[in-house]
Chain A
Amino acid sequence: NAGVTQTPKFQVLKTGQSMTLQCAQDMNHNSMYWYRQDPGMGLRLIYYSASEGTTDKGEVPNGYNVSRLNKREFSLRLESAAPSQTSVYFCASSEAGAFTEAFFGQGTRLTVV
């Protein structure tokens, strides 16, 4: 049982380059999330998707776009990477409802130079 799988695990980009972070879950969860983790800032929500076909902005959406391709997959795209987007990115999923546990991927460490 893979749970939540993110690819890639590591990436180095040059300023201005674009890339897509992939996330897939095999738990049939409705809700999916993208967070970034920065020292001293904790986890900040970038975007989330409460169900297939819907997406909503989180706390720090600027510079990012998302696609909820189907129930399993939720991708995060950086159109023009900036050094401020250097971070560790986490994808998570949960069943619908406020009381449910979120399951996290292993993270993607992104460096923008």
Chain B
Amino acid sequence: AQRVTQPEKLLSVFKGAPVELKCNYSYSGSPELFWYVQYSRQRLQLLLRHISRESIKGFTADLNKGETSFHLKKPFAQEEDSAMYYCALTGGNEKLTFGTGTRLTIIP
């Protein structure tokens, strides 16, 4: 079975401070990991994916297979980063499994 764990339901960070949203996964094979974001009154949308190894809106995420983690990081938080963030995983069956989400609030 595949499982995604996001231990923090809520996270508040001051503007300009670093941000780290935690994600751990459980999957027996080689997973593909994603971060999705839902801004207020907008659709859920892809933020970044592991395989692309890209930085989007200043966010990066590194897959650590030893710790089975895919934490999302940003060095300097901005007010527009306030949103709901979901870590997600797919395996060979293409079933997309989400974590419970972390609501990030940036304090001005």
Q: Residue B43 contacts which of A33, A42, A44, A106 (CB distance < 8 angstroms)?
A: A106
- Count of chain B residues near A, Cβ 8 A: 25
Contact present for A42 and B94 (CB under 8 Å): no
For the complex, give the distance between the alpha carbons of A105 and B38 in Å: 12
**Contact partners of B49 in chain A: CB under 8 A:** 99, 101
**Contact partners of A98 in chain B: CB under 8 A:** 32, 90-92, 94
Interface hit among A62-70, A78-86, A89-97 = A89-97
For the complex, give the distance between the alpha carbons of A99 and B88 in Å: 11
Kindly supply a per-residue 1/0 record for chain B positions 57-88, scoring 1 wherever the CB is within 8 Å of any chain A CB and 0 otherwise.
00000000000000000000000000000101
Considering the complex, give the chain A residue whose CB is closest to the CB of B30: A98
Give the shortest distance, in Å, between B16 (CB) and chain A (any CB). 29
Chain A residues touching B, range: 20 to 34
Q: Is B53 in contact with chain A by the CB < 8 A criterion?
A: no
Contact present for A99 and B96 (CB under 8 Å): no
Contact present for A40 and B46 (CB under 8 Å): no
Q: Residue B94 contacts which of A35, A40, A44, A96 (CB distance < 8 angstroms)?
A: A96
Q: Is A48 in contact with chain B by the CB < 8 A criterion?
A: yes
Q: Which 10 A-B pairs have the closest CB atoms?
A: A42-B100, A43-B98, A98-B90, A104-B44, A42-B101, A101-B46, A98-B32, A104-B43, A99-B32, A99-B51
The contact sample of 28 A-B pairs, CB cut-off 8 A, is A33-B96, A35-B98, A40-B100, A41-B100, A42-B6, A42-B86, A42-B98, A42-B100, A43-B44, A43-B86, A43-B98, A43-B101, A45-B95, A45-B97, A48-B94, A48-B96, A59-B97, A90-B44, A96-B94, A98-B90, A98-B91, A98-B94, A99-B32, A99-B49, A101-B46, A102-B46, A106-B43, A107-B43
**Contact partners of A96 in chain B: CB under 8 A:** 94
Q: Is A61 in contact with chain B by the CB < 8 A criterion?
A: no
**Contact partners of A33 in chain B: CB under 8 A:** 96
B45, B51, B100 — most chain A CB neighbours (10 Å): B100
